[in-house]
Amino acid sequence: QVTTTVEPSLQVAPYACQRRTPLDHPHSALVMALETLAEAALFEGEEARGLAFTRAASVLRCLPRALRGTHELSGLPGIGAHSHRVLQEVLEDGVCVEVETVKQSERYQTMKLFTQIFGVGVRTADRWYREGLRSLGDLRSHGTRLTREQQAGVQYFEDLAVPVGQAEAESLVCLVLDATAHLLPNASVTLAGGFRRGKPCGHDVDLLLSHPEEGREVGLLGSLVAWLGEQDLLLYQHSSYSTAAEASSSCRALDRFDRCFTILRLVLPTAGTRVRAWRAVRLDLVVVPHSQLPFALLGWTGSRHFERELRRFARHEREMVLNSHGLYDMRQGTFLLASSEEEIFQHLGLDYIPPTLRNA
């Protein structure tokens, strides 16, 4: 008996928040090529070009099966002429000359190194590059002026360059749960960020703190930071508190929660003879009023591209403004409430995408 299998053509929705994007996919070489060019464009301050490559990479991440060949690219949204060229080259030759050239370049390698330092963005990295600096050693020997944050970033660079693993993330959750149980009984601690999306490792751990009785969470950040300090676990911290004035001002790109970016001393399981029984890890703490928790959870779970697409979809397709605090319907002139992430997707008229499928 002869059977013919007809492969359905690849159907991809235009917005990443309409798509299910798992962590693992069969196009890692293609995605890496495009994401390298995206990164290189951002290093040159070319946001739009960077976004175009990021969009194309994100489309490849969500494909339900491997591409059969270049001909299948034409039906996909968001693949511009340049991305198409790069993908064709990788599909046909295994590598793309432009990508390899970028990766080898002193500019790309140095910008990658500098922007990896905690507290260093593209503009600072670019300034240092133009001053002729090329390495961490150069920063030290030239007596480059560093902010307190950057000093910590350089000091703990080697530790922070090692990704945080799942076991380490769990031990940080336990640590913070322990502390909050003493400081504010019934407070909740929720893991967000890449770990919530199922990533096996990440550059930091993102935790949202809240309390079922709205208002009880006020002051928690200060006492938690003080507690971590007393335990001698805080290597660096930078807190910002939402003031009443800020909280009442209208939608901003950055959210206004009490939050703290830290570098913690993570105590490692003792191996008897080990001399140094700790390592530095990055932990982000965000304190959220209970009524905003679903919005904060959605906003802090990522990926960054998934978030960007959710907000773009809300604005352009629904005339709504979404951020980590709430969802505003511009046509009705009202805020839409939600008690779960599912309800936010419902308000937006989107199929629910679970965290593990938000790796756009």
Indicate which residues carry an active-site annotation. Answer: 204, 206, 284
The site partner of 299 among Mn ion, ligand ATP, none (C-beta below 5 to 8 Å per kind) is ligand ATP
Distance CA 285, CA 108 (A): 31
Torsion of CA 21, 27, 31, 34, to 10 degrees: -130
Q: Which stretch, 25-33, 36-44, 191-199, 228-236, contacts ligand ATP (CB under 6 A)?
A: 191-199
* Angle, alpha carbons 279-117-151 (nearest 5°): 75
Torsion of CA 320, 321, 327, 329, to 10 degrees: -30
Nearer to ligand ATP, 203 or 238 (CB): 203
Binding mask 248-287 for Mn ion (x = CB under 5 A): ------------------------------------x---
> Tokens 């064709």 correspond to what residue?
88
Contacts of 63 (CB under 8 A, 6+ apart): 10, 12, 25, 26, 27
Q: Helix, strand, coil shares of the chain as percentages rounded to 5?
A: 50, 15, 35
The site partner of 326 among Mn ion, ligand ATP, none (C-beta below 5 to 8 Å per kind) is none
Binding mask 206-225 for Mn ion (x = CB under 5 A): x-------------------
Q: Within 13 Å of residue 175, how many CA atoms lie on the same side as its CB?
A: 22
Site for ligand ATP in 303-322 (CB under 6 A): 303-304, 307
Distance CA 92, CA 101 (A): 18
Considering only 206, 217, 258, 309, the residue that binds ligand ATP (CB under 6 A) is 206
Q: Which stretch, 1-9, 168-176, 294-302, 348-356, contacts ligand ATP (CB under 6 A)?
A: 294-302
Contacts of 173 (CB under 8 A, 6+ apart): 189, 191, 205, 207
Nearer to Mn ion, 202 or 299 (CB): 202
- Asked if residue 25 binds ligand ATP (CB under 6 A), the reply is no
Provide, rounded to whole angstroms, the least separation between the CB of residue 121 and ligand ATP: 12
Instruction: Report the interface residues with ligand ATP, using CB under 6 A.
Output: 193-194, 199, 202-204, 206, 254-255, 299-300, 302-304, 307, 324
